Each structure stands twice: as structure tokens, then as C-alpha cells.
């Protein structure tokens, strides 16, 4: 056996180890990214919906002026949505499976288009005579439902179990809160949603909830380096 033949298995094993190390590092970054994403949304829901619960003529405890409560809520949602867009694009372009920049960019723009479209929709409904009590239920429910659907799409697009579970949680909480009705739905959003997200973040950090679904098994370095029998198809 020649020197080149002896070096081939060692080089293949070294390359495989390097690939596995890089994959573990990338996976670790994804776990931290999604865990922080859940905590950001938990904080946004906790602060934003608590402000609405304390809003005069909005929630159950009239402490804050209504305009202040809505400004706090809107600011929290914008911060969480922007964080989600950045996380989605960075995760899609992480290179772990060669996802294209275009794919991540289109996903990011889908957030902007959905949120702007929802705003025009609510304005149109209000001009058409949408009742105030229905609007109180519709405004938060519509935006959060859209966010949940976008997370479902992102989870399916990038095989991300964490994103998909977050989408399911958001949609489920919206349904529960809407059936409970105003003004108690704000309290549901301020408590049930954050608790579910904090639990999800903990499960991510502990490795119980994977950031991404496992890849199909690929040939190992030993498989790649193993010489084939004479006449065996390649």
C-alpha cells in the first residue's frame, strides 16, 4: 500500500471530525438564539399585556392612561417582532445546510408584509364600523395569530422544532384568550403566554427541546474512507 493510500483514511477522519465540531458549534449558537428569542417574547408579552391590563377603560385595573398602555404594548411588540426577523434571517443563513440568502431575506420580508397588511386590515375594519369591544379582542389576537403562523412557516422551512412549537403555543394562547373575552384576555396573554415561553426556553437550554430536527444519517468518515471491494458499484 502506498503512502497516499495510508493518508487517505486519516485525512477523511480529520475532515469528518472538523465538520462535526463546526456543526456542534453552529447548533449551540442556534440553541442560544432560539432560547433568547423565547425570553424576548416572554418579556414582551409580560410587559405589554400587563400595561393593557392596567389601562383605563381597557383592562381590569384602571391605573395607566389608555394611550400610555397602548404605546407600551406597541413598543414591546415591535421590539419582539424585529428580534424575530433578525433571528429568522440569521438562522436561515447560518450555513448549516447551505440555505440561501434569498430564502432568509424573503422570510424576513414576509414578517413586514404581514404586519403592515394586518394594520391596514384593522384600519379598514374600523372605518367599516368595527365595534369597540370586538376591536379590543381583535387587535392583539390578529397580530399574535400572524406571528404564530409565521413561526409555523419558519419552523417548517428550516426544520426548526423550537420555532414550530413557539408558533403552536402562540396560536393556542390566542384561541384561549379570545374565548375568555375582554378584559380578562389581557391577563391571559400577560401570564399564560410568558410562562409557556419561559418553559420552552428552559427546555431548549437543557437540550430537551431541539433547536432543529435531526438530520438524516450521512456516511461517516469510516464509511467514506473504507475501500470498496473490486467490482462493487460506487
Do 153 and 109 form a contact (C-beta atoms < 8 A)?
Answer: no
pLDDT in tens, 80-122: 888 877 776 666 555 444 445 677 677 778 888 898 899 899 9
Establish if 89 belongs to a structural domain.
yes
Q: Compute the average pLDDT of residues 18-25.
A: 52
In the predicted structure, residue 140 carries a pLDDT above the cut 80:
yes
* pLDDT at residue 122, rounded to an integer: 92
Establish if 3 belongs to a structural domain.
no
14-28, 82-96, 144-158, 171-185: segment of lowest average pLDDT: 14-28
CA dihedral 164, 166, 171, 172 (to 10 degrees): 110
Which set of grid coordinates corresponds to residue 80?
A: 419582539
Q: Compute the average pLDDT of residues 125-150.
A: 91
Establish if 91 belongs to a structural domain.
yes
Give pairs for 112-115: CB < 8 Å, separation 24+.
112/85, 114/146, 114/150, 115/81, 115/143, 115/146
SS percent in the chain: helix, strand, coil, step 5: 75, 0, 25
The Cα–Cα gap between 94 and 114 comes to 24
Instruction: Out of 14-23, 34-43, 156-165, 215-224, give the one with best mean pLDDT.
Output: 34-43
Establish if 82 belongs to a structural domain.
yes
Establish if 231 belongs to a structural domain.
no
What element of type H or E holds 53? helix 3-53
Across all residues in the chain, what is the average pLDDT? 77
Find the domain containing 64 and state its range. Answer: 10-213
Residue 162: which of 99, 214, 204 has the closest Cα? 204
* pLDDT at residue 173, rounded to an integer: 92
Which set of grid coordinates corresponds to residue 96?
A: 448549516
Question: How many domains, in total, are found in the chain?
Answer: 1
Give percent of the chain with pLDDT exceeding 90.
31
Establish if 198 belongs to a structural domain.
yes
Establish if 229 belongs to a structural domain.
no
* pLDDT at residue 219, rounded to an integer: 45
Do 168 and 200 form a contact (C-beta atoms < 8 A)?
Answer: no
Do 58 and 67 form a contact (C-beta atoms < 8 A)?
Answer: no
* pLDDT at residue 220, rounded to an integer: 46
The Cα–Cα gap between 234 and 228 comes to 8
Amino acid at each position: 500500500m502506498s503512502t497516499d493510500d495510508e493518508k487517505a483514511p486519516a485525512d477523511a477522519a480529520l475532515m469528518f471530525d472538523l465538520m462535526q465540531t463546526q456543526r456542534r458549534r453552529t447548533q449551540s449558537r442556534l440553541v442560544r438564539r432560539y432560547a433568547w428569542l423565547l425570553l424576548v417574547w416572554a418579556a414582551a408579552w409580560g410587559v405589554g399585556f400587563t400595561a393593557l391590563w392596567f389601562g383605563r377603560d381597557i383592562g381590569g385595573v384602571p391605573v395607566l392612561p389608555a394611550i400610555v398602555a397602548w404605546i407600551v404594548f406597541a413598543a414591546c411588540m415591535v421590539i419582539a417582532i424585529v428580534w424575530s426577523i433578525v433571528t429568522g434571517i440569521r438562522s436561515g443563513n447560518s450555513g448549516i445546510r447551505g440555505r440561501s440568502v434569498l430564502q432568509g431575506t424573503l422570510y424576513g420580508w414576509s414578517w413586514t408584509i404581514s404586519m403592515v397588511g394586518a394594520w391596514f386590515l384593522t384600519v379598514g375594519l374600523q372605518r367599516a364600523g368595527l365595534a369597540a369591544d370586538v376591536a379590543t379582542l381583535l387587535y392583539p389576537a390578529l397580530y399574535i395569530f400572524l406571528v404564530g403562523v409565521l413561526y409555523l412557516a419558519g419552523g417548517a422551512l428550516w426544520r426548526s422544532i423550537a420555532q414550530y412549537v413557539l408558533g403552536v403555543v402562540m396560536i393556542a394562547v390566542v384561541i384561549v384568550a379570545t374565548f375568555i373575552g375582554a378584559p380578562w384576555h389581557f391577563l391571559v396573554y400577560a401570564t399564560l403566554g410568558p410562562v409557556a415561553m419561559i418553559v420552552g426556553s428552559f427546555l431548549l437550554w437543557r437540550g430537551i427541546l431541539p433547536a432543529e430536527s435531526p438530520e438524516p444519517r450521512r456516511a461517516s468518515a469510516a464509511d467514506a474512507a473504507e475501500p470498496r471491494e473490486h467490482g462493487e458499484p460506487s
